[in-house]
């Protein structure tokens, strides 16, 4: 076999010879990185300010475009697929995997060799684990990709896109335009995400409305022998009237003996667990391992791709009759933690797992080969250990124990004492946390025997409110009500955390924030179906019918969008109901933030609102200006923009990162055709402004194609040059007291020259010189003073990509600068690369 990297530098390609369909062939094996394509709106429909969100339900056209343009996945597949006669699809065997199959086919089929006489050229491999046995078995019985399952995913994607974007855009713009302390950059709505939040808020409401009640219990102790006493439970359990409880106490407290009324000894069994499916794995990972659902799912997927476990996305808890249970068990026979248990099971014979639910997708999650903590790392090991112990438990025997019960009478009242003795630990040997709790064995006695009463008292207690939902409890509710799939449940829970709708407290309990509570209460006030699980559950059933070929894709899509379009219009008309709740919990923009910079229209101070999304608000003009996120904002020397007279502000990602000035008005209303919303002065093409790209730009970035390296005039004495697209930063000329961009250009690479002035005492220049003008790329003196790094943090607006402005040089009629490597001798390029981190 030969291996190489594909043209995208990410996916490997392995080639080898073999036989296929009875003839010798040359195989080519490669991969994709998740979905090849993603669904999005066309052109103007992606611009929030130019489109009414109501249009997104039907009028807005959608297109499939590359999910990650930087990977060039379509071109990569076409290059590798050109000249091939057959394609065998080995994508994950679930609905998402089926959808990716057709994305791959759309890219590859047009450039494959033409078929001869209707010959079958597309095959689908179905497998549940990456082991040689499973792979060979899948290759021996190749099928076809399921178009209906792929269509059900297309339908879900389009529904979530259209419904989610319409509601999200409307409520985000409406509420962020009115309130300053929402502390969420996006007030999102999702057909699955919102009911998920609804469960959390419903529990919060129960806690808030809970009124504790006082109750009383009787507790008795009897002497079993000289050194031991038994604690007896009252058969009435509790009473809520103190006087009645006192009456029962008075009737019993003078009694000296407790008489045995009855005894019983029963052999009982604690059942071994059902085979493991995704939802149960996520529940245990959250409640026992302290791993969030999304992190647990990612860890399980990594274990699967490395061949340690079977496919981790399954709803099935039942092993097929022909499943080889002993094979995976033998893999564990020499493991230092459970070898003895496994060898005993293999010798004495395994117990057939309990009959669970067969969803018809994949077998339950099963360990496929042995591993140690040193191999996997601590996080992956903890999940692998649980999966393995669970599997061994499913083929072990039930735990058997003897339960003894003694019923006592003290005066007219009856009490009970219970004890348990383990007969055979069974599966609890491998899952000790499931073992029967150790209780004292009860003394041997019979009806009529008496025991001395050592104490009898009345205890006052209170009922307790329910606690906040744990992730495990939330997963159970989502599964019960059909919200999301086994694969998407972790994503929905993660979304409500990311949006600041809930916070994860100790014990992985989910506590709703003010914003989450107000949103859910607002949905209930306007249209409860937006937050109740019923409507999404019905949609999921329709999507499953598409996957089974029992429902028409277009009809389901059209009907569901029509329902939600009507709900959207009603929501917009009734938004005042939610707004009433918002104004009780949040402050208006005018009352939020602190004065920072002057508005160019009224020349009054605008307030800087630091809560997400950070922005400036002018209460006099009633205008709000969005700022770059994930950084700090401060006033920039009270300098003003020459176009609109707004005071400039300085955005910074930190001392080791990037910083640049920006005009609040220009960033929200780009003044030039080649500028996009959100750009700062380092991307502004104004020909004479001293802060613009035209005056401070040096040359094309050494890493990205579309970026320009721009001098940061605020960074001295630790001067920096930073790319205005990507997160490349060059630290240079430390201790220089002045650095300027010259009007002259380098004769070699056409980059702008820098004029640098040093203090004589700190000058690193040869011959004690204090001034030097040269090119940062080509000048050998400057090369020793420049160090390239990546910025400490990077906002999405800094990333380059298709569709961004392609100007590479400074705007003065000067020829575009080129990458230094294009015209520089190799020894100079390597000198610069040596500093690259």
Cα separation of 181 and 612, whole Å?
A: 8
What end-to-end distance do the CA atoms of the chain give, in Å? 34
- Alpha-helical regions (H) of 306-424: 326-331, 339-348, 373-376, 378-394
Question: Residue 384: which residues within 8 A CB-CB, separation 6 or more?
Answer: 303, 308, 309, 367, 371, 376
Q: State phi, psi for 24 to the nearest 5 degrees.
A: -70, 135
Q: Let me know: does 531 contact 483? Beta carbons within 8 Å.
A: no
Cis, peptide link before residue 349, omega less than 30° from 0: no
Q: Let me know: does 397 contact 424? Beta carbons within 8 Å.
A: yes
249: its two tokens: 């106490």
Q: How many Å is the maximal CA-CA distance in the chain?
A: 112
Nearest-5° angle of CA 287, CA 289, CA 295?
95
Burial of 304 (0-12, 13-18, 19+ CB in 10 A): buried
Q: Let me know: does 356 contact 317? Beta carbons within 8 Å.
A: yes
DSSP-based three-state secondary structure for 626: strand
564: its two tokens: 């939600």
Question: Which residues are the active-site residues?
Answer: 311
For the beta sheet containing 719-723, the strands, ordered from the edge strand earlier in sequence to the opposite edge, are 697-700, 708-712, 719-723, 728-732, 786-790
Query: Which residue's entry shows tokens 């300098």?
Result: 639
* CA-derived radius of gyration, the chain: 35
Cα separation of 242 and 418, whole Å?
A: 27
CA dihedral 288, 292, 294, 298 (to 10 degrees): -60
Positive or negative: CA dihedral 512, 518, 519, 525: positive
Cα separation of 720 and 656, whole Å?
A: 9
Residues counted in the chain: 837
Cα separation of 831 and 837, whole Å?
A: 13
**544-550: long-range pairs with CB below 8 Å, 24+:** 544/152, 546/148, 546/151, 546/152, 546/155, 547/95, 547/146, 547/148, 547/149, 547/151, 547/152, 548/148, 549/148
Cα separation of 667 and 354, whole Å?
A: 63
DSSP structural state of residue 67: S
Cα separation of 722 and 729, whole Å?
A: 4
Q: Let me know: does 455 contact 267? Beta carbons within 8 Å.
A: no
Cα separation of 460 and 485, whole Å?
A: 46
């Amino acid at each position: 076999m030969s291996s190489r990297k594909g043209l995208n530098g990410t996916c490997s390609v392995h080639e080898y010879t073999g036989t296929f369909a009875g003839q010798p062939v040359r195989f080519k094996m490669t991969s994709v990185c998740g979905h090849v394509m993603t669904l999005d709106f066309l052109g103007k429909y992606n611009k929030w300010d130019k489109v009414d969100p109501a249009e997104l339900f039907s009028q807005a056209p959608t297109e499939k475009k590359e999910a990650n343009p930087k990977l060039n996945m379509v071109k990569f597949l076409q290059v590798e697929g050109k000249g091939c006669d057959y394609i065998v699809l080995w994508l994950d065997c679930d609905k998402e995997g089926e959808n990716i199959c057709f994305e791959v086919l759309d890219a590859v089929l047009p450039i494959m060799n033409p078929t001869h006489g209707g010959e079958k050229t597309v095959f689908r491999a179905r497998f549940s684990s990456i082991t040689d046995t499973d792979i060979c078995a899948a290759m021996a019985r190749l099928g076809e990709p399921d178009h209906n399952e792929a269509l059900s995913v297309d339908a879900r994607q389009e529904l979530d896109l259209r419904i989610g974007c319409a509601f999200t855009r409307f409520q985000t713009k409406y509420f962020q335009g009115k309130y300053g302390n929402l502390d969420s950059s996006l007030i999102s709505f999702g057909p699955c995400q919102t009911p998920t939040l609804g469960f959390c808020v419903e529990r919060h409401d129960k806690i808030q409305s809970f009124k504790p009640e006082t109750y009383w219990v009787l507790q008795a102790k009897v002497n079993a022998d000289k050194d031991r006493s038994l604690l007896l439970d009252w058969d009435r359990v509790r009473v809520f009237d103190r006087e009645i409880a006192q009456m029962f106490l008075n009737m019993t407290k003078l009694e000296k003996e407790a008489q045995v009324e009855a005894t019983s000894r029963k052999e009982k069994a604690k059942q071994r667990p059902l085979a493991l499916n995704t939802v149960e794995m996520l529940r245990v990972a959250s409640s026992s391992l302290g791993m969030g659902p999304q992190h647990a799912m990612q860890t399980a997927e990594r274990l699967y791709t490395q061949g340690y476990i079977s496919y981790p996305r399954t709803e099935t808890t039942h092993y097929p009759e022909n499943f080889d249970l002993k094979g995976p068990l033998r893999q564990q026979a020499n493991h230092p933690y459970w070898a003895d248990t496994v060898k005993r099971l293999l010798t004495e014979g395994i117990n057939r797992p309990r009959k669970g639910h067969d969803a018809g997708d994949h077998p339950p999650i099963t360990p496929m080969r042995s591993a140690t903590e040193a191999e996997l790392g601590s996080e992956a090991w903890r999940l692998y250990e649980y999966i393995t112990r669970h599997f061994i438990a499913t083929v072990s025997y039930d735990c058997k124990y003897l339960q003894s019960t003694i019923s006592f009478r003290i005066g007219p009242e009856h009490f009970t004492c219970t004890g348990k003795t383990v007969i055979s630990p069974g599966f609890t040997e491998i899952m000790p946390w499931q073992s029967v709790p150790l209780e004292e064995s009860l003394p041997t006695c019979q009806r009529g025997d008496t025991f001395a009463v050592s104490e009898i008292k009345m205890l006052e207690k209170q009922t307790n409110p329910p606690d906040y939902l744990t992730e495990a409890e939330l997963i159970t509710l989502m599964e019960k009500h059909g919200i999301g799939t086994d694969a998407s449940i972790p994503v929905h829970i993660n979304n409500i955390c990311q949006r600041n709708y809930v916070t994860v407290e100790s014990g992985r309990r989910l506590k709703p924030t003010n914003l989450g509570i107000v949103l859910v209460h607002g949905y209930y006030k306007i249209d409860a179906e937006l937050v109740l699980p019923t409507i999404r559950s019905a949609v999921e059933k329709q999507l499953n019918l598409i996957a089974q070929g029992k429902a028409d894709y277009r009809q389901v899509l059209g009907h569901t969008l029509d329902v939600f379009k009507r709900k959207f219009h009603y929501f917009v008309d009734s938004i005042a109901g939610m707004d009433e709740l918002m104004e009780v919990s949040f402050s208006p923009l005018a009352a939020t933030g602190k004065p920072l910079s002057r508005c160019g229209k009224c020349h009054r101070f605008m307030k800087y609102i630091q809560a997400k999304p950070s922005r400036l608000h002018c209460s006099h003009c009633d205008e709000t200006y969005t700022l770059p996120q994930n950084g700090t904002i401060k006033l920039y020397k009270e300098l003003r923009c020459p176009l609109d007279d707004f005071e400039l502000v300085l955005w910074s990602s930190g001392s080791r990162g990037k910083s640049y000035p920006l005009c609040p008005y220009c960033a929200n209303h780009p003044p030039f055709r080649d500028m996009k919303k959100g750009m700062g002065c380092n991307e502004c093409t104004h020909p004479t402004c001293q802060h613009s790209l035209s005056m401070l730009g040096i040359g094309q970035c050494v890493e990205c194609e579309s970026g320009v390296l721009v001098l940061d005039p605020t960074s001295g004495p630790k001067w920096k040059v930073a790319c205005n697209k990507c997160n490349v930063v060059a630290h240079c000329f430390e201790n220089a007291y002045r650095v300027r961009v010259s009007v002259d250009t380098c004769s070699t690479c056409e980059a702008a020259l820098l004029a640098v002035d040093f203090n004589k005492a700190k000058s690193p220049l040869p011959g004690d010189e204090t001034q030097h003008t040269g090119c940062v790329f080509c000048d050998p003196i400057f090369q020793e003073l420049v160090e390239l790094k990546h910025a400490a943090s990077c906002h999405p607006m800094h990333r380059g990509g298709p569709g961004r402005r392609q100007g590479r040089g400074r705007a003065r009629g000067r020829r575009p600068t080129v990458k230094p490597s294009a015209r520089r001798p190799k020894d100079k390029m390597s000198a610069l690369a040596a500093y690259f981190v």
